[in-house]
Amino acid sequence: MLLLEAVRVCYGAVVGLEDGSLRLNDRELVCLIGANGAGKSTLLNAISGVVPVASGHILFDGESIGGLRPERVVRRRIVQVPEGRQIFVRMSVEENLLLGAYVRRNEELGQDIDRVYSLFPRLLERRTQYAGLLSGGEQQMLAIGRALMARPRVLLLDEPSMGLAPLIVEEIFATLRQLREQGISILLVEQNARAALRFSDRAYVLTHGRVELEGPAAEIAKNEHVREAFLGKAAASGRALAPVLKSRK
């Protein structure tokens, strides 16, 4: 459905992504894990058109979408939930949700808002409050809800677990599973490898701008090098796994 082939992104002289190659199948929840600065956000931003692609290909349903402007990508129903949520704190919860529907005509908005509220009942309780008054977890729910208002076929999430308590992370990842069951394909970028691998179907490991390992999430979670770098003691220090990871299955 979504295919990246050797996508390279440069920020001036800095290479943000060296070789971004992955695929996301229909109704799949795939996670992309990697240390700080590995290029995870850059890869998502390349898909969503926020940063230009220097070389390589991005295909969606067989058509090239590399180089499309962000709003054109959203119209193809590929919608990103950005790093740090980026909700509008001085607007109400419901106003934030309505912003997510900006690419659409106004029909059925009420129905879609109701769908978001049934997914996240806490947003309904707070619909008229300033978004800035929500807890971190609720703000993340709002960011996801806002993305859903664009009726995505593909949802791209950039570290939704950041700064959240483990129980809320569980709740949010369980919701992602639910969305996948409703037919949305999900690419989840995470530093929280432990939780992400538990909820995902497949996983990719990004190291210094390259996809170095891929496979079923359960297998990746058992991989010795991944355990060492992301699931063990080293995870806390954010150590990269470049020297140990070579095999790309």
Ligand X SMILES: Nc1ncnc2c1ncn2[C@@H]1O[C@H](COP(=O)(O)OP(=O)(O)OP(=O)(O)O)[C@@H](O)[C@H]1O
Q: How many CA atoms lie within 13 A of 19 on its CB side?
A: 7
Are 59 and 3 within 8 A, CB to CB?
yes
Burial code (b: 16+ CB inside 10 Å, e: under 16) for 148-172 equals bbbbbbbbbbbbbbeebeeebbebb
Q: Name which of Mg ion, ligand X, none residue 36 binds, using a CB cut-off of 5 to 8 Å depending on partner kind.
A: ligand X
Confirm or reject binding of residue 42 to ligand X (CB under 6 A): yes
Segment 179-218, which members bind ligand X (CB under 6 A)?
Answer: 191
Q: With binding defined as CB under 5 A, does residue 41 bind Mg ion?
A: yes
Q: Which of the stretches 30-38, 109-117, 131-139, 168-176 binds ligand X when contact is defined by CB under 6 A?
A: 30-38
80 touches Mg ion by CB under 5 A:
no
Number of residues that bind Mg ion (CB under 5 A): 2
Q: Is 49 in the site for ligand X (CB under 6 A)?
A: no
Residue 160 contacts ligand X per CB under 6 A: no
In the list 22, 28, 39, 79, the residue contacting ligand X (rule: CB under 6 A) is: 39
The CB-nearest residue to Mg ion is 41
Q: Residue 19 is encoded by which pair of tokens?
A: 């070789």
Tell me if 82 contacts ligand X by CB under 6 A: no
Query: How many CA atoms are closer than 13 Å to the CA of 37, on its beta-carbon side?
Result: 9
8, 16, 137, 144: residue in contact with ligand X (rule CB under 6 A): 16
Closest to ligand X by CB, 92 vs 191, is: 191
Q: What angle do CA 201, 23, 40 make, to 5 degrees?
A: 85
Torsion angle (degrees, nearest 10) of CA 47, 49, 52, 56:
30
> Applying CB under 6 A, which of residues 19, 41, 80, 172 lies at the interface with ligand X?
41
Cβ–Cβ under 8 Å, residues 94 and 131: no
Report the 10 Å Cβ neighbour count for 184: 22
Q: Which residues bind to ligand X, rule: CB under 6 A?
A: 11, 14, 16, 34, 36-42, 191
Q: Which residues bind to Mg ion, rule: CB under 5 A?
A: 40-41
